[in-house]
A and B are shown apart, each in its own frame.
Chain A
Amino acid sequence: MTAPTRVGLLDADDTRLAAHRERHGVPSPLSLDDVRASGLTGRGGAGFPLWRKLEAAAEGPWWRSPVVVANGAEGEPASSKDRALLLRAPHLVLDGLALAAGVVGAHRAIAYVRADAVDAVRAAAEERRRARLPEPAVRVVAASPGFVAGEETAVLAALGGDAPRPADKARRITDRGLGGRPTVVSNVETLAHLAVVGLAGVPSFRARGTDAEPGTLLATVRDHHGRRVVEVDHGVPLAQVLGGDPDRPLLVGGYHGAWLAPAEVADARLSRASLGAYGATPGAGVLLERPAGTCGLAETARVVGYLARASAGQCGPCRFGLPALASGMDALVRGAPPVAVRRARDLAGLVDGRGACRHPDGTARLVRSALRVFAEDVAAHRRGRCLASES
């Protein structure tokens, strides 16, 4: 059978191995050059080029073979794309994991997935084991809950039996990670795209998206139409994803993302190139419309409170700075003089970059974007009014 030229990540209606092979065929093994040529970047939020990660892990000594980990923790509460992928196409993810293992020479593979996807992934891994596929058997582990638990060094901590807390980045996990071995932690969607490259080839993968940002991505969309996960090309106009003329502010990326004003949503595309102008990135592919009648400032304050509580509590600037930032946002919601805006902005700048992971950075980004997009709300609240209740 020949593989189709286009692989839709969520198209399958039968998740079993036989149906998967019938539909997609068998992926061709990939070399590092293939991965580099594809231009595939991470879909977990950071957008790091996959080939660089694989190359770093493949450079280790032969007697310490690497470990590959599929990260399906999806700690971002606003995101459900990884869950959709794991439930609808677990074999795409596991094909990608096997391909990654092949590139780096790994003999150990782990799927670290959110609790509600464990059964589905375990069943798929068991099918592959019984079919004696030429790949490392996949150990499926239920992910620890929590926002920062999906950060790659937190994942390794949890797999090592410790609390899921991020580690200092001084030691690269591609040098020494799990059990001292070079370790690749890759988002499950990234691996699914790698499977697409293996099944349909680099040109087919690059036919979608843009030259600079090839391929498609999964977006979790929540707007006035409802909630859905869709696969879209990089560079697609946001208005097209949302369906209609944007008239509400949009949170792009996730809780570590940035707000865009309606006019900006109308202009922007889902790409780093376009979103950079607004201090945003595609991130984890979350697109959240601020619902009608709600207050963007209050909603942001609620999220910042959540992010403060989600801190692993290891790093002083995050542990103390984020709650202070949350208090600052609450003060703006209650109505505060202009100095409170400066204070919030200063605090965002103070925590940014001062932690073992990007949790404070992402929180700072969210706050800065809210102060920009909801400046009128801040002024209204100062006068004891709320634009949301008046709209």
Chain B
Amino acid sequence: MNDDRPRLHIDWTRCDARGVCLELLPELLGEDPWGYPVARNGPDPVVPPGLDAPARQAVRDCPRLALALRTPRGRP
């Protein structure tokens, strides 16, 4: 079931701890002591069905374009 679900990928070379994703996806992302996102369920977490919309918004709104949604076959 999870195989078709997109995964949230963080490009750490771009992430600058701006925090927009932390506001939009608190269910998925916590914050480390320096303000960087910590995926609660391990790296490249699966985006559950109810969070599709905020995940897409986070990808759009990240000021550093550090986020991407990846499906097993490529970008959605």
Contacts and interface: CB of A to CB of B under 8 A. Distances in A.
Interface of A: 165-168, 170, 314-318, 320-321, 324, 350, 353-356
Which of B10, B13, B14 counts the most A-chain CB atoms under 10 A from its CB? B13
B26 to A, nearest CB: 18
B12 A314 contact: yes
Interface of B: 9-17, 32-36, 38, 42-43, 68, 70
Nearest to B10: A354
Given A316-B15, A354-B43, A170 B9 contact: yes
A349 to B, nearest CB: 10
Contacts of A315: 12-13, 15
10 contacts: A166-B13, A168-B11, A315-B13, A316-B36, A317-B34, A317-B36, A320-B34, A350-B32, A354-B10, A356-B13
Contacts of A318: 12
Contacts of B12: 168, 314-318, 354-356
Given A168-B12, A317-B34, A350-B32, 12 more contacts: A168-B13, A168-B14, A170-B11, A314-B12, A316-B12, A316-B16, A316-B34, A320-B36, A353-B43, A354-B38, A356-B12, A356-B13
Contact of B42 (A317, A320, A353): A353
Contacts of A353: 42-43
B13 A167 contact: yes
Nearest to A361: B43
Contacts of A168: 11-14
Nearest to B35: A316
A87 B21 CA distance: 50
Among A165, A170, A317, A324, chain B packs the most CB atoms within 10 A around the CB of A317
